[in-house]
């Protein structure tokens, strides 16, 4: 997962790390990165999509129920 994340744009990666690895909320991430909450949500959505695509390309099976 970490290797796949290194290819992401910086802001996407930061949002993903703060959300999943640090457990921060969207408002907290927005405050830390000085971004609008909507921008953080967009970065998180795009990062999840990109991460999923990268993992599938790498042949890593994803659990059922992941959109």
Q: Is the pLDDT of residue 60 over 90?
A: no
Question: Mean pLDDT throughout 18-27?
Answer: 95
Determine what percent of the chain falls in helix, strand and coil, rounding each to the nearest 5.
65, 0, 35
Q: In this predicted model, what pLDDT tens digit does every residue of 5-14 receive, in sequence order? A: 888 899 999 9
pLDDT at 24: 97
CA distances from residue 64 to 9, 26, 44, 55, 67 in whole angstroms, order as listed: 27, 26, 20, 14, 9
Closest CA to 15 of 6, 26, 4: 26
């Amino acid at each position: 997962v970490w290797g796949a994340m290194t290819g992401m744009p910086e802001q996407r990666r930061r949002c993903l790390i703060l959300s999943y690895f640090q457990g921060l909320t969207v408002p907290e991430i927005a405050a830390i990165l000085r971004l609008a909450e909507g921008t953080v949500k967009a970065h998180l959505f795009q990062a999840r999509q990109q991460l999923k695509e990268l993992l599938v390309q790498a042949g890593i099976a994803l659990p059922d129920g992941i959109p």
